[in-house]
């Protein structure tokens, strides 16, 4: 029976690949969540800007205007922070994807090596079987020749 001597390494690489796939899935979900938060912040800011313009047309006091301005500054800061978070998660997602691609290459390399070893083993078995059959045929031929003489 054929035994692939580095099967434990192949199993380990498959395990690592599965872990990386799960981590990539988590980062994908996290990235989607963070992008949604960013869009929500942008929508809230746009609604607030529309509201502010409408109030300015109706004439607002300086103190109200100052409150709106301070709120806009805070929203701009929140938007910038969220953009930074999205960029950071995108970088981590890209790194995980690259790690997964590398893990897949490593696993496939070992699987090809395993296939090559199995093919060589099967070839050797077939050669041994053919040699055995040839030997049997030669012995049968020799036996017949002796019986005829």
Q: How confident is the model at residue 35 (pLDDT cuts 50, 70, 90)?
A: very high
Q: How confident is the model at residue 90 (pLDDT cuts 50, 70, 90)?
A: very high
For the entire predicted model, the pTM comes to 0.74
In sequence order, what DSSP letters do the residues of the chain get, joined into one string? ----TTHHHHHHHHHHHHHHHHHHHHHHHHHHHHHHHHHHHHHHHHHHHHHHHHHHHH---HHHHHHHHHHHHHHHHHHHHHHHHHHHHHHHHHHHHHHHHHHHHHHHHHHHHHHHHHHHHHHHHHHHHHHHHHHHHHHHHHHHHHHH-
**CATH of 7-116 given 3.10.20.30, 2.50.20.10, 1.10.287.1700, 1.20.1600.10:** 1.10.287.1700
What is the predicted pLDDT for the residue at 62?
86
Q: Are 117 and 2 in contact (CB under 8 A)?
A: yes
Q: What is the pLDDT of residues 115-146, one digit of tens each?
A: 999 999 999 999 999 999 999 999 999 998 88
HSE, CB side, 13 Å, CA atoms: give it for residue 23.
18
Please determine, for residue 147, whether its predicted confidence score (pLDDT) is greater than 90: no
Task: List, as own/partner pairs, every contact residues 106-112 make where C-beta atoms lie below 8 angstroms and the sequence separation is at least 24, other chains included.
Answer: 106/13, 107/10, 107/13, 107/14, 107/17, 110/6, 110/9, 110/10, 110/13, 111/10
Q: What is the mean pLDDT of the chain?
A: 93
Q: Give 81 or 63, the one with higher predicted confidence.
A: 81
Please determine, for residue 76, whether its predicted confidence score (pLDDT) is greater than 70: yes
Q: Are 83 and 41 in contact (CB under 8 A)?
A: no
Other Cβ atoms within 10 Å of 12 Cβ, number: 14
Domain residue ranges of the chain, discontinuous segments joined by + = 7-116
Please determine, for residue 149, whether its predicted confidence score (pLDDT) is greater than 70: no
Q: Give 56 or 81, the one with higher predicted confidence.
A: 81
What is the predicted pLDDT for the residue at 95?
97
Of 33, 15, 27, residue with least CA distance to 96: 27
Please determine, for residue 6, whether its predicted confidence score (pLDDT) is greater than 80: yes
Lowest-pLDDT range of 51-60, 86-95, 102-111: 51-60
What is the predicted pLDDT for the residue at 120?
94
């Amino acid at each position: 029976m054929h035994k692939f001597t580095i099967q434990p390494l192949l199993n380990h690489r498959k395990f690592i690949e599965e872990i990386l796939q799960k981590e990539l899935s988590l980062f994908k979900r996290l990235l989607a969540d963070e992008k949604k938060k960013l869009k929500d912040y942008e929508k809230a800011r746009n609604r607030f800007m529309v509201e502010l313009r409408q109030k300015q047309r109706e004439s607002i006091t300086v103190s109200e205007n100052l409150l709106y301005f301070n709120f806009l500054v805070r929203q701009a800061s929140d938007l910038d922070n969220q953009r930074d978070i999205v960029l950071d998660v995108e970088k981590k997602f890209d790194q995980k994807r690259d790690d997964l691609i590398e893990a897949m290459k490593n696993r496939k390399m070992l699987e090809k090596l395993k296939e090559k070893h199995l093919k060589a083993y099967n070839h050797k078995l077939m050669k041994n079987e053919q040699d055995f059959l040839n030997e049997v045929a030669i012995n049968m031929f020799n036996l017949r020749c002796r019986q005829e003489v």
